[in-house]
Amino acid sequence: MKAEDVMLIRSQLEYAVALAAIAKLEGLPPASPERARLPEITEAIEAWECVNRITASRPVLDPAYRASQDVHLSR
């Protein structure tokens, strides 16, 4: 397994854990101290999704990046 694959899997796991944390925190009473972390976790998820969108659109915007990925995929 390549380092890029490991980093992608790790990123996806962190995202899934963050989503689970939001679901759990949303179920807590509003005055709960744990629920105070909800904005922090929501912000992290929004940042992850933004990076994901940028990364997904980058091959379209940057021909050099696309060429590098084509070489990477052909290995």
Report CA-CA distances (Å) from 61 to 49, 53, 57, 64, 65: 18, 12, 7, 9, 8
Angle between helices 63-73 and 38-61 (to 10 degrees): 90
Total of domains in the chain: 1
At 43 the pLDDT is 84
Domain that holds residue 66: 3-73
Instruction: Locate 73 and state its tokens.
Output: 């995929």
Dihedral sign, CA of 52, 53, 56, 62?
negative
Please write the tens of the pLDDT for every residue from 20-69: 887 787 888 878 888 888 888 888 788 878 877 776 665 555 566 556 65
